[in-house]
């Protein structure tokens, strides 16, 4: 494991405090540190390239045609269409939309249900990029966003749905987004809320830490202050997510009572290698708990959101 202790956002070395310990599904140990300069929370030590390659293997993207098995993918499609409707409502007809971390591309494609748009996607190499490449309506770049990919003031809307926390160069990415987004354009971004009830209760066993893939985390307050430096105004903030938050609570509770983390999540992806030593009884109990408790935690998500303590947060940013 790398011995480096560098803030992922501001790149300040060895100037942080340890908050708590965590571990990944590969049994690598980390701590969550708070940077004394920019207040970002980040994974320490910084994951090595080999660890990240392992974390983003085919098992992460799902080895079959879909990432998840059975009805799960259909439910996710419902939420993709909801996001598509939101972005379509914020974008002028025939406008340019860029989705950074576009996954299988279906969210982008669904925007065409609500209007005519020019679609652009960026996705790292892997099964998700392969799926997105089969959607002819998307101008797809496989790789990372770089400074010379698009002209300045080109996009009407840019989206990053649970992608920001994966970035190794988040400050550079925000700078590029600010350049290629038109004045008056919108950037819609969602990520885990490190100041949430779930984060504070479950700490290192919180689902949405997702080490080593999630490299850093901002509180909503710190994020609002940071994006102002890139010429953005906060138009809307939302702390509720029926797609993300109830499941985060359920899996985090299960993590609390399990040696292995994310057993239910990995089983839903069909990751047979990871769950091969988990008993059928344990898998049944986890699945049953999920089905019985989801309505309760969908309700508590509403309460957490009212307190601005939802497990994830979504921002609609408007470029000045």
Task: Quote the pLDDT of residue 72.
Answer: 82
Strands 96-100 and 29-35, bridge-based pairing: unpaired
How far apart CA 219 and CA 86 sit, in angstroms, is 24
User: What is the rounded distance in angstroms from the CA atom of residue 240 to the CA atom of residue 18?
Assistant: 29
Counting beta carbons within 10 angstroms of the beta carbon of residue 152, is it exposed (0 to 12), middle (13 to 18) or buried (19 or more)? exposed
Residue 312 · residue 217 · CB < 8 Å: no
At residue 295, the pLDDT reads 98
Asked if 84 and 107 count as a contact pair (C-beta separation under 8 A), the reply is yes
Global confidence as pTM: 0.94
CA–CA gap between residue 146 and residue 130 (Å, rounded): 20
Distance of CA 192 to the CA centre of its chain: 7
Is domain 69-191+228-240+309-317 annotated with CATH 3.40.50.150? yes
Domain boundaries of the chain, sorted by first residue: 69-191+228-240+309-317
Report d(CA 163, CA 178) in Å as an integer: 17
pLDDT of residue 1: 42
Q: What is the pLDDT of residue 312?
A: 99
| Pairwise CA distance, residues 206 & 178, whole Å | 32
Q: Where are the alpha helices (H) located in the chain, listed in sequence order?
A: 49-55, 58-61, 71-90, 106-110, 127-133, 170-180, 197-202, 220-227, 245-256, 263-268, 280-306
pLDDT tens for the chain, residues 1 to 320: 445 799 999 999 999 999 999 999 999 999 999 999 999 999 999 999 999 999 998 777 665 556 666 678 889 999 999 999 999 999 999 999 999 999 999 999 999 999 999 999 999 998 889 999 999 999 999 999 999 999 999 999 999 999 999 999 999 999 999 999 999 999 999 999 999 999 999 999 999 999 999 999 999 999 999 999 999 999 999 999 999 999 999 999 999 999 999 999 999 888 889 999 999 999 999 999 999 999 999 999 999 999 999 999 999 999 99
The 8-class DSSP code of residue 48 comes to P
**What sign does the CA torsion over 214, 216, 220, 225 have?**
negative
Of 158, 165, 126, nearest in space to 40 by CA: 165
* The pLDDT value given to residue 4: 77
Q: What Rg value do the Cα atoms of the chain yield, rounded?
A: 19
First to last CA, the chain: 42
Q: What is the pLDDT of residue 61?
A: 66
Residue 122 and residue 141 in contact, taking contact as beta carbons nearer than 8 Å: yes
- In angstroms, the CA 319 to CA 177 distance is 10
CB 142 within 8 A of CB 129: yes
């Amino acid at each position: 494991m790398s011995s480096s202790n560098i803030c992922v956002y501001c790149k300040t070395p060895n100037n942080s405090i340890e908050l708590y310990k965590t571990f990944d599904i590969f049994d690598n140990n980390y701590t969550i540190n708070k940077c004394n300069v920019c207040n970002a929370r980040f994974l320490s030590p910084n994951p090595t390239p080999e660890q990240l390659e392992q974390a983003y293997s085919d098992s992460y993207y799902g080895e079959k045609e879909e990432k998840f098995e059975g009805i799960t993918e259909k439910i996710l499609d419902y939420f993709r269409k909801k996001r598509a409707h939101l972005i379509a409502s914020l974008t002028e007809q025939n406008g340019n939309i860029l989705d950074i971390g576009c996954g299988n591309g279906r969210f982008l494609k669904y925007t065409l249900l609500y209007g005519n748009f020019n679609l652009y996607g960026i996705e790292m190499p892997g099964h998700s990029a392969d799926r997105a490449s089969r959607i002819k309506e998307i101008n797809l770049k496989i790789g990372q966003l770089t400074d010379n990919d698009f002209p300045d003031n080109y996009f009407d809307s840019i989206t990053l749905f649970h992608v920001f926390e994966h970035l190794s160069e988040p400050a550079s990415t925000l700078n590029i987004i600010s350049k290629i987004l038109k004045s008056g354009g919108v950037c819609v971004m969602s990520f885990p809320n490190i100041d949430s009830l779930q984060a504070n209760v479950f700490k290192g066993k919180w689902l949405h830490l997702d080490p080593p893939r999630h490299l850093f985390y901002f509180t909503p307050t710190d994020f609002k202050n940071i994006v102002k430096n890139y010429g953005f105004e906060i138009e809307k903030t939302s702390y509720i997510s029926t797609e993300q938050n109830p499941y985060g609570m359920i899996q985090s509770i299960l993590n609390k009572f399990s040696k292995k983390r994310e057993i239910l999540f990995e089983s839903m992806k069909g990751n047979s290698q990871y769950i091969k030593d988990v008993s059928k009884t344990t898998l049944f109990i986890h699945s049953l708990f999920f089905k019985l408790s989801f309505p309760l935690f969908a309700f508590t998500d509403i309460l957490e959101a009212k307190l601005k303590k939802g497990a994830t947060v979504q921002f609609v940013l408007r470029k000045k």
